Amino acid sequence: MKSVSKILSIAAIALSAAACMNLEPKDSLGDAQVWSKASNYSLFANQFYAWTRDFNGSGSATYMNAFTDGVHSDHRSDLIAGPNENQWSQGTNTVPATDANYGTLYKRIYYVNLLLKNAENFASKSDIATPVGEAYFFRAYLYFELVQMYGDVIYVDAPVDLNSEKLQARRDSRVAVIRNCLADLKKAVELLPETPAETGRVGKGAANALISRVGLYEGTWQKYHSGDAAASREFLADAAAGAKAVMDSKQYTLFYNAALGGRDSYKYLFILENVDCNPAKLTKNDNKEYILAHCHDEALKKIGTNITHGAQNSGVYLTKKLADMYRCQDGLPIAKSTLFKGYAGQNTEFENRDNRMNATMLQHGQKYWNNDGKWRTTWTAADEENAMTCDRRSNSGYINNKWATERQVDDTNEGYDYPVIRYAEVLLNYAEAKFELDGAISDEDLNISLNLVRGRSNPNMAKLSNNLVSANGLDMLEEIRCERSVELILEGFRIDDLKRWKTAETEMPGNLTGLKLTDTWYATNWTNQSRPKDAEGCIVLYDGRSWSAKNYLLPLPSDERQLNPNLGQNPGW
């Protein structure tokens, strides 16, 4: 009991991360009795799972906050706006005095390294294989976060003392750090179980999936930022191999239920709970798509933020740019498709489109549930009293429905999980990595990856193929990137993708716009619209946006540079 109490104390200390890298001396947590029991390694590793992305940030770190605002948030991109200007989206952020992300990530790396250091002296390595594998996984996860934010970073693979020269070192190159991340993840694959003992823990699949994410990110970064060409191919090959290992394992499948159909399977995937929450009465156990999730529970660990109302009615302004990205059912962009019905009517732009558009956005006049209404499996006259009616005449005119529950539940009490890594992303990683490696991709590779993702929601939609691309003057890479953007919207990928593709300088400066007013039903039926319009007659949500080369990386905070003058500063800051 004394050992367990000691470990719990260690975990509590680890979770209370400080802003700067003022790490505790390693001997203060080096109790021999603690590290002599295999069970304590697993107990210590439990804290790592609080560090993954979630609907909100955790503690003083904001880098996890993928839904509202945070380093990965779509609110910092070109596809989402909110009630107020976002300084990162506008390109007006400045050098901060402090940045909780930097110190918190290094604090967490310290605790991961502490476990790995003590594991070296543990007699029975097989008894602690799983927590050691978890430590390798999370060390890679944390360093990947640092690289995405700051580029070159100091790499520390041991729990160093406060007076260590390493803490006053120059930064290591991002290529070297990513190589270490991928090496850690390959060790994790060897050590972790095929099937984790508990839901929500990492196994071989999660490690291979993260290999695909890390390899794709850095492989494309090096390719498009005129970096190390050899490293780019090395990382892209790792990305494709990691994704293929997940695919070949047959452990994961895209969430689909015939009773829901493709559109609603996509919709309900994100709001699954272990209570009555969908017409098919499915629960989290029916979801084999989430490879790693930040777990919540409607009773024990509620989400704790006003996600349904915040996402559906007030906090998320979807843009016309996003709406226009959804392909038509013939697989073509709206500019090339004869199926596109234009913008004149209340909802004509929704006709013949990718069903994910209809799952993600509410149409004008559409009945929908929110968490004020009692759940029903069929519509009756009485149900109408509990239903809401969508009115697109607010905010951007594109009303989000992703992440909005339909069961009757108090605000902040929803209990669905956040997908840290899901199988759809892995399939898209594979398709992109294969194309980036060779400048081409076979129809066979498209059919075992990207077309599965597209087909889940659109069984009758034309598949992406080389013939579709050549016959219609399309760009295969653009189509692959577009598929990723619409599938993963509001999951914290878009701004990172623009950065690694080096397209942010093109995509980010444009205005954030809403629906088209001129020559549409809304021109005479949304008379209290006071925002300006652009040349096409679309609502302008925010203008004056800019992007310069320096914005591809975050600036290092002033306090960390004072602690270590050798850090330098990122270009342009």
Instruction: Please check whether residues 446 and 406 belong to one and the same domain.
Output: no
Q: What is the pLDDT of residue 23?
A: 33
8 Å CB contact between 131 and 112: no
Task: Report yes or no on 271 lying in a domain.
Answer: yes
Specify the 3-state DSSP secondary structure of 206.
Answer: helix
Q: Which two tokens stand for residue 398?
A: 């594109």
Amino acid identity of residue 276, one-letter, is D
Between CA 461 and CA 201, with CA 486 as vertex, the angle to 5 degrees is 110
How far apart are alpha carbons 78 and 525 in whole angstroms? 28
Task: Report yes or no on 459 lying in a domain.
Answer: yes
Amino acid identity of residue 255, one-letter, is F
Instruction: Please check whether residues 301 and 405 belong to one and the same domain.
Output: yes
How far apart are alpha carbons 428 and 437 in whole angstroms? 14
Instruction: Please check whether residues 355 and 456 belong to one and the same domain.
Output: no
Q: What is the pLDDT of residue 28?
A: 42
Q: Which two tokens stand for residue 369?
A: 């549930």
Instruction: Please check whether residues 408 and 266 belong to one and the same domain.
Output: yes
* Domain boundary residue, one of 502, 518, 543: 502
Side-chain-side CA neighbours of residue 522 (13 Å): 26
Answer positive or negative: Cα dihedral of 501, 504, 510, 512: positive
What is the domain count for the chain? 2
Taking every pair of Cα atoms in the chain, the longest distance, rounded to a whole number of angstroms, is: 77
How far apart are alpha carbons 283 and 273 in whole angstroms? 5
Task: Report yes or no on 231 lying in a domain.
Answer: yes
What is the chain's pLDDT, residue by residue, as a tens digit (573 residues)?
344 445 545 544 444 332 233 333 333 445 777 899 999 999 999 999 999 999 875 433 444 455 567 899 999 999 999 999 999 999 999 999 999 999 999 999 999 999 999 999 999 999 999 999 999 999 999 999 999 999 999 999 999 876 678 888 999 999 999 999 999 999 999 999 999 988 889 999 999 999 999 999 999 999 999 999 999 999 999 999 999 999 999 999 999 999 998 889 999 999 999 999 998 999 999 999 999 999 999 999 999 988 898 888 778 999 999 999 999 999 999 999 999 999 999 999 999 999 999 999 999 999 888 888 766 656 667 777 778 899 999 999 999 999 999 888 999 999 999 999 999 999 999 999 999 999 999 999 999 999 999 999 999 999 999 999 999 999 999 999 999 999 999 999 999 999 999 999 999 999 999 999 999 999 999 999 999 999 999 999 999 999 999 999 999 999 999 999 999 999 999
Task: Report yes or no on 318 lying in a domain.
Answer: yes
Task: Report yes or no on 399 lying in a domain.
Answer: yes
Task: Report yes or no on 278 lying in a domain.
Answer: yes
Q: Which helix (H) or strand (E) covers residue 113, if one does?
A: helix 100-119
Spell out the alpha helix ranges (H) of 160-228.
174-191, 204-224
Could you tell me the CA-to-CA distances from 252 to 200, 287, 291, 424, 487 in Å, in that order? 14, 9, 7, 10, 17
Select from 47, 33, 45, 38 the least CA-distant residue to 5: 33
How far apart are alpha carbons 509 and 503 in whole angstroms? 11
Q: What are phi and psi of 86, to 5 degrees?
A: -105, 120
* Domain boundary residue, one of 470, 486, 502: 502
Select from 469, 468, 434 the least CA-distant residue to 449: 434
Instruction: Please check whether residues 350 and 211 belong to one and the same domain.
Output: no
Q: What is the pLDDT of residue 306?
A: 86
How far apart are alpha carbons 19 and 98 in whole angstroms? 7
Q: Which two tokens stand for residue 128?
A: 């602690």
Q: What is the pTM of this model?
A: 0.93
8 Å CB contact between 408 and 290: no
Q: Which two tokens stand for residue 9?
A: 């104390």
Instruction: Please check whether residues 454 and 396 belong to one and the same domain.
Output: no
Q: Is 280 left (phi over 0), alpha (psi -120 to 50) or beta?
A: alpha
Specify the 3-state DSSP secondary structure of 444.
Answer: helix
Instruction: Please check whether residues 240 and 272 belong to one and the same domain.
Output: no
Q: Which residues on neighbouring strands pair with residue 21, listed in sequence order?
A: none
Q: How many CB atoms lie within 10 A of CB 91?
A: 17
8 Å CB contact between 89 and 72: no
Q: What are phi and psi of 371, to 5 degrees?
A: -75, 10
Amino acid identity of residue 409, one-letter, is V
Between CA 216 and CA 224, with CA 221 as vertex, the angle to 5 degrees is 120
How far apart are alpha carbons 368 and 387 in whole angstroms? 6
Answer positive or negative: Cα dihedral of 52, 56, 61, 66: positive
Instruction: Please check whether residues 305 and 334 belong to one and the same domain.
Output: yes
Please provide the DSSP assignment of 229-253 as one string: HHHHHHHHHHHHHHHHHHHHHT---
Could you tell me the CA-to-CA distances from 218 to 173, 241, 247, 439, 507 in Å, in that order? 12, 15, 21, 17, 20
Contacts of 262 (CB under 8 A, 6+ apart): 256, 355, 455, 456, 457, 458, 459
The b/e string for 39-69 (b: 16+ C-beta within 10 A; e otherwise) is ebbbbbbebbbebbbbbbbbeebbbbbbbbb
Contacts of 390 (CB under 8 A, 6+ apart): 362, 363, 364, 365, 366, 367, 368, 399
Between CA 292 and CA 297, with CA 293 as vertex, the angle to 5 degrees is 150
Residue 25 gets which letter from DSSP? Answer: P
CATH of the domain at 214: 1.25.40.900
Contacts of 530 (CB under 8 A, 6+ apart): none
Amino acid identity of residue 323, one-letter, is A
Q: What is the pLDDT of residue 379?
A: 60
Task: Report yes or no on 110 lying in a domain.
Answer: no
Instruction: Please check whether residues 363 and 461 belong to one and the same domain.
Output: no
Instruction: Please check whether residues 319 and 351 belong to one and the same domain.
Output: yes
Q: Which domain holds residue 469?
A: 201-254+417-502
8 Å CB contact between 420 and 386: no
Instruction: Please check whether residues 232 and 352 belong to one and the same domain.
Output: no
* Domain boundary residue, one of 453, 484, 502: 502
Task: Report yes or no on 13 lying in a domain.
Answer: no
Q: What is the pLDDT of residue 267?
A: 96
Instruction: Please check whether residues 412 and 330 belong to one and the same domain.
Output: yes
Amino acid identity of residue 216, one-letter, is L
How far apart are alpha carbons 63 and 50 in whole angstroms? 13
Select from 218, 235, 91, 150 the least CA-distant residue to 500: 218
